[in-house]
Structure 1
Amino acid sequence: MIFWQHILEKLQDNQKVYVLTVIENFGSSPGRKGFKMLVAQDGFIFGSIGGGVMEFSLVEETKQLLKEGIDNIFIKKQIHKGNIKDGSGMICSGEQTVAFHCLDSHHISTVQGILTGIQNGEKGTLSLTPDSFYFSYKFIENQFEYKINSNNDWFFNEHVGYKETLYIVGGGHVGVAVSELFVKLGFFVVVFDNRENLNTLKNNHSAHQKQVVDYADISNYILEGSSSYVAIMTNKYTDDKLALSKLIGRNYTFIGVLGSKAKLETMWNVMLKEGFTQEELDRIYAPIGLSIKSESPEEIAISIAAQIIKIKNTNN
């Protein structure tokens, strides 16, 4: 978000800004798809497209374009194999293609839209083409979609905003620790509890959204889809069971329940008698988190994060 804030400040200052975006990479290229850098008219730079002599060279080239008043859109391939055609001067192997877009005051509304979407936890798409740089609230399932047919025939779409949302059911001490960690990991974090005036919920300053709800209606507040992750950690067994019973069988990438093996075994037996199937229960991650002998809320948060990261990155 800081990247876009810097761009907005420069545009509002009536400066032109080049945005350099890695739109394709292969092998051991230091720049990966989506890496970005801004070069402003006053010489300010921010971000990275891979570093090293390659980045320095492209930044100097961009500064010269701004100095000469050139505002073209173009792409440039960099091959990291030494002194060859399109070579970057780096020897790390691999290659990357960088798109150059010059923004001016006419793009202020576009950048403001990106910032608003990120702040509100909305999902959108940044679309780059040889003719345009624009943002929409269209949702793409993958982080990137792109195709390069030639220097004048290409497109690059990038998911902007929080791709994954973690819904925490239970606003206690563990919920606070989990919120803090997952915000740092780039998740949009929503916390629910059914208790009014709960101190730990009020003092949870990390979560993007907090809400007091009736757990009987919890399914109304959690969006289904591959970007949704659910961690149930209420303050008592009956609430855990109630929340799970309303969410089980719905389409989420992850549902986990915090608790001891003994508590969960009791819950499973009761739910089987109530008509839930073993197949449904087997899809639940319980006890939630990797087994690392975690005890404190912070250690439990790390175990949950490790488990969810593994699932998220395996699915990707």
Structure 2
Amino acid sequence: MNDVLMSAKRIIDNHESLVLATILKKSGSAPRGEGSNMMIRPDFTIEGSIGGGLVEAMIIKSAAKVFKDKSSCVENFLLSTENVVNVGTKGNGNLKILLEYIDCQDQLANDFYGEITKSMEKKKDFVIITKIPEASQKESGLKKWICTETGLFGAECDEIISLIQEIRENFHEMKHREAYFHDDTYFIEPFFTTENVVIFGAGHIGKVLADLCKVLGFYVVVVDDRNEFANAQRFETADEVIVADYFDRVTDRVKIDQHSFVIIVTRGHIYDKEVLAQMLLTDAQYIGMIGSRTKRNEVYQSLLEEGFTFRDLERVYSPIGLPIHGETPEELAVSIAAEMIQVRRTPKR
């Protein structure tokens, strides 16, 4: 979930305008990818990040002009190991930034970010379409649309009909990119809120992992059979906490698909094999199981006897986590989260 866009509605409701900075294109050593965004308030405090350090300092400086002009624009920045240079609207840098002025008195902006908030809270997949100002051009007013597989939020107009059709035909394959239609340029931002992490086990490691995974932007679900461990008071940051009387048929209670990350840390390994057997029948992109190699091999042998194959077991990350020799729950959680990031960020072939 994009907390920056969620915060935009809150700030607008507080009668503050803001500048939304979004990376349109990057190359070379630019630190963040396309679609990363940062929000700048009138007092120049920020939420989110698009690079840190000198990059953000230069963008905040550019945001001051946007606040003054009350109009949106595109700026290009040239990055080096020593400094950041703003090469303006016509120059070619390795970081192209859209700076949008969001007017708190604009009812359309209020409605637009309200719709985003509702869609994210409902975990509804959508794509934001933003018209990009031409070089050396400043534009006022909100020129954005929200496109779902069946609906559209925003002013209907002929200029984006073909673009909307293309998006819907390839909805879940959409990537952050610029699109060109009728001599205009648009930025496509997919927001698919289906990337979730399901933690089976609400013990010490599960607790630390839930907090850490939430910081990393996952939709966090915790499953355990103990009310005293699996509750909203203990897991304040988790999106869902599920108490399961039994660990059979857990996929009836939890959504597991190709976007899911599964962590198996049940108490005393009691239900590890039972949960793993069910997870191997899903399309989860990451399945990690805690335990020593001896314990893992016992589980594997039992599953092989039940009809699973060695190829099935090759999907499992066990012992779980990157080898950083962690011992405490916090250290183990860091190693697991790091392995998840590695899987998440590795380009798919």
Q: When the two structures are superposed, what TM-score results if normalisation uses the length of structure 2?
A: 0.73
The alpha carbon displacement at 1:56 in A equals: 4.9
Distance change >3 Å, CA 111–CA 303, structure 1 → 2: same
For the residues of structure 1 that align with 2:216 and 2:241, how far apart are their CA atoms? 18
For the residues of structure 2 that align with 1:184 and 1:9, how far apart are their CA atoms? 19
For the residues of structure 2 that align with 1:24 and 1:223, how far apart are their CA atoms? 33
- Corresponding residue number in structure 2 for 1:210: 241
- Corresponding residue number in structure 2 for 1:114: 116
- Corresponding residue number in structure 2 for 1:176: 207
**Do 2:125 and 2:193's aligned partners in 1 also have CA atoms closer than 8 Å?**
yes
Q: Give CA deviations for 1:218-271 in whole Å, capped at 9, x if unaligned.
A: 122343433210011112444111111122132111111112221221111111
The alpha carbon displacement at 1:15 in A equals: 5.9
Q: Point out the more displaced range, 97-106 or 49-58.
A: 49-58
**Do 1:29 and 1:93's aligned partners in 2 also have CA atoms closer than 8 Å?**
no
SS where residue 311 of structure 2 aligns? Answer: helix
| Superposed CA RMSD | 3.6
**Do 1:16 and 1:102's aligned partners in 2 also have CA atoms closer than 8 Å?**
yes
For the residues of structure 2 that align with 1:303 and 1:52, how far apart are their CA atoms? 29
Q: How does 1:52-131 map to 2 (within 5 A)?
A: 54-56=58-60, 58-66=62-70, 71=71, 75-80=73-78, 87-88=87-88, 94-98=94-98, 100=100, 102-103=102-103, 104-119=106-121, 121-130=123-132
**Do 1:167 and 1:229's aligned partners in 2 also have CA atoms closer than 8 Å?**
yes
Q: When the two structures are superposed, what TM-score results if normalisation uses the length of structure 1?
A: 0.79
Q: How does 1:1-316 map to 2 (within 5 A)?
A: 3-4=4-5, 7-12=8-13, 17-29=18-30, 32-38=33-39, 46-47=46-47, 51=55, 54-56=58-60, 58-66=62-70, 71=71, 75-80=73-78, 87-88=87-88, 94-98=94-98, 100=100, 102-103=102-103, 104-119=106-121, 121-130=123-132, 132-137=143-148, 141=172, 144-149=175-180, 153-160=184-191, 162=193, 164-195=195-226, 197-199=227-229, 201=231, 203-213=234-244, 214-315=246-347
Please list every run of 5 or more consecutive structure 2 residues that lacks an aligned counterpart in the other structure: 81-85, 133-141, 150-167
SS where residue 293 of structure 1 aligns? Answer: coil
The alpha carbon displacement at 1:117 in A equals: 3.9
Distance change >3 Å, CA 179–CA 49, structure 1 → 2: closer
For the residues of structure 2 that align with 1:10 and 1:228, how far apart are their CA atoms? 31
Q: Give CA deviations for 1:63-116 in whole Å, capped at 9, x if unaligned.
A: 2322xxxx5x6x52525289xxx8249x99624142535442222222123233
Q: Give CA deviations for 1:253-302 in whole Å, capped at 9, x if unaligned.
A: 11111122212211111111111111111211122122333322222212
Distance change >3 Å, CA 274–CA 253, structure 1 → 2: same
The alpha carbon displacement at 1:173 in A equals: 1.8
Please list every run of 5 or more consecutive structure 1 residues that lacks an aligned counterpart in the other structure: none
Distance change >3 Å, CA 302–CA 12, structure 1 → 2: closer
Distance change >3 Å, CA 135–CA 244, structure 1 → 2: same
Distance change >3 Å, CA 58–CA 223, structure 1 → 2: same
For the residues of structure 2 that align with 1:31 and 1:238, how far apart are their CA atoms? 41
For the residues of structure 1 that align with 2:21 and 2:320, how far apart are their CA atoms? 41
The alpha carbon displacement at 1:307 in A equals: 1.4
For the residues of structure 2 that align with 1:28 and 1:272, how far apart are their CA atoms? 46
**Do 2:178 and 2:188's aligned partners in 1 also have CA atoms closer than 8 Å?**
no
**Do 1:20 and 1:37's aligned partners in 2 also have CA atoms closer than 8 Å?**
yes
Distance change >3 Å, CA 310–CA 99, structure 1 → 2: same
The alpha carbon displacement at 1:150 in A equals: 8.4
How many residues matched?
Answer: 304
- Corresponding residue number in structure 1 for 2:156: none
Q: Percent identity?
A: 23
For the residues of structure 1 that align with 2:268 and 2:64, how far apart are their CA atoms? 60
Opposite residue 170 of structure 1, the aligned amino acid is G
